């Protein structure tokens, strides 16, 4: 659907440019945007590489395991179907920590692995129905409580913001509210599902 929407807007822009005599402006805008996109990608690759490397060091040093032990009570409240010490627990924790640090790139592989192990624990996997734990994980992953919104800071820096980190307070507040709302919703729906 989005492909049609974007395609339609591009075609409409080109048609408007042809009939209004502004085709050179559209061509220059497309070339400038392409250059900005490449510059942004190069900058984001550097930031991504650094933070993914830090997450890998944290994993290999055992820091993720220490954090997992500290938040294990929370994990078992949110994901009652995950047995203690199961691999899903490790990947859920890694995903949550990466999202907390604003590292969506580092969170993605852990999130995929968490879903894989949650699917193994899913009593309805033959029916292709997601378990309550899978839905809860997805909601928490999407709401993504963030301490440091690295992506937004990088974008603001790229586009010349005087104070790129000024977004941190608003980011913490917005993601805290969305995460709390998501957790409450997931717990209420899980309770309703058990009562059905």
**pLDDT higher than threshold 80 for residue 4:** yes
8 Å CB contact between 186 and 136: yes
**Residue 139, C-beta contacts closer than 8 angstroms, at least 6 positions apart:** 182, 183, 185, 186
8 Å CB contact between 92 and 139: no
What is the pLDDT, as a whole number, of residue 137? 92
Closest C-alpha among 126, 129, 136, 165 to residue 148: 165
What is the pLDDT, as a whole number, of residue 124? 82
Burial of residue 138 (number of CB atoms within 10 Å: 0-12, 13-18, 19+): middle
What is the pLDDT, as a whole number, of residue 119? 92
Separation of alpha carbons 127 and 174, rounded Å:
36
Sign of CA dihedral 43, 46, 52, 58: negative
Burial of residue 45 (number of CB atoms within 10 Å: 0-12, 13-18, 19+): exposed
Local confidence band at 196 (pLDDT 50, 70, 90 cut-offs)? low
pLDDT > 90 fraction of the chain, expressed in percent and rounded? 7
CA distance readout (Å), 193 to 106, 118, 126, 135, 188 = 32, 18, 18, 12, 9
8 Å CB contact between 97 and 75: no
Q: Which residue has the higher pLDDT, 182 or 58?
A: 182
**pLDDT higher than threshold 60 for residue 10:** yes
- The model's pLDDT over 109-153, given as tens digits with 9 standing for 90+, comes to 889 999 999 999 988 878 788 888 998 999 888 887 887 777 778
**pLDDT higher than threshold 60 for residue 183:** yes
What is the pLDDT, as a whole number, of residue 195? 57
Mean of the per-residue pLDDT values of the chain: 83
Closest C-alpha among 124, 138, 132 to residue 81: 132
8 Å CB contact between 37 and 29: no
């Amino acid at each position: 659907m989005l492909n049609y929407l974007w395609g339609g807007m591009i075609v409409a822009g080109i048609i408007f440019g042809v009939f209004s005599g502004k085709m050179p402006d559209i061509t220059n805008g497309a070339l400038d945007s392409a250059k900005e996109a490449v510059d942004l990608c190069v900058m984001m690759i550097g930031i991504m590489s650094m933070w993914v490397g830090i997450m890998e060091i944290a994993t290999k040093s055992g820091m993720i395991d220490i954090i997992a032990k500290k938040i294990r009570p929370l994990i078992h409240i949110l994901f009652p179907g995950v047995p203690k010490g199961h691999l899903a627990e490790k990947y859920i924790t890694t995903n949550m920590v990466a999202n907390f640090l604003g590292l969506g790139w580092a969170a993605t592989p852990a999130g995929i692995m968490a879903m894989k192990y949650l699917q193994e624990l899913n009593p309805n996997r033959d029916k292709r129905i997601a378990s309550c734990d899978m839905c809860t994980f997805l909601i928490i992953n999407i709401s993504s409580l963030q301490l440091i919104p690295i992506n937004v800071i990088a974008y603001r820096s790229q586009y010349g913001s005087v104070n790129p980190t000024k977004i941190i307070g608003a980011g913490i507040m917005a993601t805290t509210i969305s995460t709390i709302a998501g957790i409450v919703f997931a717990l209420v729906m899980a309770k309703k599902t058990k009562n059905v």
